[in-house]
Structure 1
Amino acid sequence: MADQRLPLAVVRPVGALSAAHRAWVSHPRWSLAVKGAFAASLAWFVGLLAPEPFSQYPYYAPLGAVLATTSTVVRSVRESLQSVAAVLVGALIARTVHLLPLPGLVELAMVVGLALLCVGWRIFGDMGSWTVMSSIFVLILGNGGDGDGMEFIGSYIGLILVGASIGIAVNLLLPPLPLTPSELALGRLRDGMAEQVELLANWLEDRGTLDPDEWEQRRQQLLPTVECARAAVARTREASRANLRVRYKRNEYWIASQTRRAGALGTSAEVVDEIVRLLVEWERDGRGEVALGQRLRPEFAATLRAFATALRAAVTRDVADQAAAGAARDEAADAVAGLDRSVERLRDVVRTAQRSSEQTYLVAGALIVDLARGADALRL
């Protein structure tokens, strides 16, 4: 009996750990929160140990630490420098205006106005808003005597710089590399396109002409998924720069794989969008000459299903483990070959229809070109 229970006692913890790991890598914000909390706590501790007058304001060090741990390694360095520069400019604005004999309300308005003028400076990048925050902090909290004011400014800027340095160091030791989220985004794009193509094929066979409003809405609904996948892969590529994790567990191959598949699926998304757009415009009631008609719809629907099959295989064409990529490569190649054959059959059917009809089938030709372009995109 003990021997029979042993596998259950072993499998359950392993399964739980595996599920926990999948959840962890699928939600990079969790690791970001842990890393940011650790860096902020360390920066606070360093601020408390700093000599006077820095130890009077230890709460500014965690600001710099959090800033540096909320992005990629390369960006954290750039944004930390930009934020320190913005803080410095804001502090100088507040200190300079405070030296003028102005009423409190006028002084505040001038400080905020001048700081807002600096927000859009290219040198600050996305960190320009720190100019306004810094100017207000310095104006309100550092407006004592000349010595106190300069002491506050020095402590404020110095502690943010120290905190940012700690955050950068933590980011270098524990760099983000969101490979799993970008993989999931590519999978959602793949599924969304394949589903739309299959639904379009079913619609053409069962209902014939398209409902323009409904299919235009479906076309628009896919666009955010396309942008999300592109942004996710772009974040992964940026995170891979100066990232030590790229060298481990074949992550470098995985990143290259995602980049290739993102390009293929991006081109395929353009093809799907163009096909739906052309059919919405031409394959509908009220058109004197439709794109396909009853004669070509069945063959075109069959080609769309072959396209959907190739799309579903494309996302598994490359995998992180090169040794396991062979079967996926063969599957994708077979799917694209099937799409090629289907496109050629559709081309023959259109040629036959042209010879026996006065209709030009120009839109059908454009649709064939789009499908051929989609096949080329998936032929990696």
Structure 2
Amino acid sequence: MTRGWRRGSAALREVWVRHPRWSLALRGAVAAALAWVVGVLAPAPLSEYPYYAPLGAVVATAGTLARSARESLQTVGALLLGAGIALAADAVLEPSALAVALVVGVALLCAGWRVLGGTGVWVANSALFVLVLGQGQDAEYIGAFAGLVVVGAGIGIVVNLLWPPLPITPSDLALRALRASLVEQLDDLADWLDDEGPLEPDEWERRRHALYPTIEGARAAVAHSGEASRGNLRARRYGERVRTQARESAVLGAAAEVVDEVVRLLVDGERTGRDDVALGPRLRPELATALRSFADALRDPVDDTDDTDGDSADDPCAGFARSLDRLRDVVRESRERTGGDHFVAGALVVVLGRGHDVLAG
């Protein structure tokens, strides 16, 4: 029974860390409940509008620790700006469709102010609330509205401080997916050169574009975990892991650019329907071998803490270097024998050399 409990708790934890949205939802729910209690217990007139306190709590817990403080200040600024617009309109216009149109128009213009960031939408919301709901008690309503949002945001920030988000596992998964996608692309490209010969441009253009979301997703996930580590007490424990993710993201991003350029060169110079293909039967097998070696080096990166010699036969990066040297020699021999330019083949050698440098770091 104990073993089953441990297995079940481990599985639950794995699901939990894979889906940070769950912990975000729980943090937001706890912060909103606490803010509601504080709003209800606050002195009048604040206690008449307790529902605005959870609003501030949700704003503060919706992002990382560093972002929550910044966005809380921006939200309060947006609320006060919207309230000011509503007060100015109320002073010169009676409640009417014209007043609403004027307030919303001005608020939406101000919502694009860069200082407000992504919280600009609250300018129009605040302006409408104050204009419609604050009639006859503008000062009281604005004070309660802004004050409770500030209190709720403070509670949300405290909850984030005590239970800070640090989405490391999703970043690991995103990087793992990117690495696997690059390896698959290289293996498929090598198989195609061996079995099919020249490339089908439409097929490989589709594959290139299909890889972009994976690349951007990995970069965004790593950037998010890096932002989450700022001011985060848990980052002391996972700081090295966050830095490792940043390094791996840079390496895989550069490797992705190399793979993309290889496909571009091959689609342009080794495509079906072209009479003077760039490589031909003589060079294609050597390039396919180099691509597989590149895939092996990506699949099994060298551990920086490994004490083995970097020139070991078991080192995939060293194997990639040897296959690249072989490709370089074969291209040179072919050029001397045929007298051809071999521009695309030479460019492929240079691009793959950059890929080796990226992995060898």
TM-score bucket (shorter structure): over 0.9
Within 5 Å, give how 1:69-148 maps onto structure 2: 69-102=61-94, 104-143=96-135, 145=136, 148=137
> TM-score, normalised to structure 2's length?
0.96
Are positions 1:21 and 2:13 aligned together? yes
Q: Which residue of 2 aligns with 1:6?
A: none
1:238-285 deviations in Å (ceiling 9; x for gaps): 11111100112xx11101111111111000000000001110111012
Q: 1:298 aligns with which of 256, 264, 285?
A: 285
Q: 2:58 aligns with which of 59, 66, 72?
A: 66
Within 5 Å, give how 1:358-377 maps onto structure 2: 358-377=339-358
Q: Which residue of 1 aligns with 2:181?
A: 192
Are positions 1:326 and 2:306 aligned together? yes
- C-alpha contact 1:333 1:379 (8 A) present in aligned 2: no
What amino acid is the match of 2:235?
V
Q: Which residue of 1 aligns with 2:332?
A: 351
Per the TM alignment, residue 333 of structure 1 is displaced from its structure 2 partner at its CA by 8.0
Q: Which residue of 1 aligns with 2:40?
A: 48
- C-alpha contact 1:57 1:155 (8 A) present in aligned 2: yes
What amino acid is the match of 1:379?
A
Structure 2 residue ranges without an equivalent (≥5): none
Are positions 1:309 and 2:296 aligned together? yes
CA distance in 1, matches of 2:308, 2:5: 31
CA distance in 1, matches of 2:181, 2:197: 22
Per the TM alignment, residue 13 of structure 1 is displaced from its structure 2 partner at its CA by 1.6
What SS does the aligned partner of 2:315 have?
Answer: helix
CA distance in 2, matches of 1:125, 1:149: 27
What amino acid is the match of 1:125?
G
Structure 1 residue ranges without an equivalent (≥5): 1-8, 319-324
Q: Which residue of 1 aligns with 2:254?
A: 267
With over 3 angstroms needed to count, the CA separation of the structure-2 counterparts of 1:228 and 1:193, relative to structure 1, is: same
Q: Which residue of 2 aligns with 1:201?
A: 190
1:184-203 deviations in Å (ceiling 9; x for gaps): 00000000010011000000
CA distance in 2, matches of 1:184, 1:31: 17
> TM-score, normalised to structure 1's length?
0.92
What amino acid is the match of 1:215?
W
- C-alpha contact 1:66 1:167 (8 A) present in aligned 2: yes
Q: Which residue of 2 aligns with 1:237?
A: 226
> How many residue pairs were aligned?
360
CA distance in 2, matches of 1:214, 1:166: 53
What amino acid is the match of 2:50?
P
CA distance in 1, matches of 2:57, 2:84: 22
CA distance in 2, matches of 1:306, 1:11: 43
Query: Identity over aligned residues, as a percent?
Result: 54
Q: Which residue of 2 aligns with 1:183?
A: 172
Q: Which residue of 2 aligns with 1:37?
A: 29
Let me know the Cα RMSD of the aligned residues. 1.7
- C-alpha contact 1:49 1:55 (8 A) present in aligned 2: yes
CA distance in 1, matches of 2:124, 2:81: 9
With over 3 angstroms needed to count, the CA separation of the structure-2 counterparts of 1:28 and 1:332, relative to structure 1, is: farther
CA distance in 2, matches of 1:21, 1:363: 50
Per the TM alignment, residue 64 of structure 1 is displaced from its structure 2 partner at its CA by 0.3
- C-alpha contact 1:73 1:239 (8 A) present in aligned 2: yes
CA distance in 2, matches of 1:185, 1:61: 35
- C-alpha contact 1:97 1:107 (8 A) present in aligned 2: yes
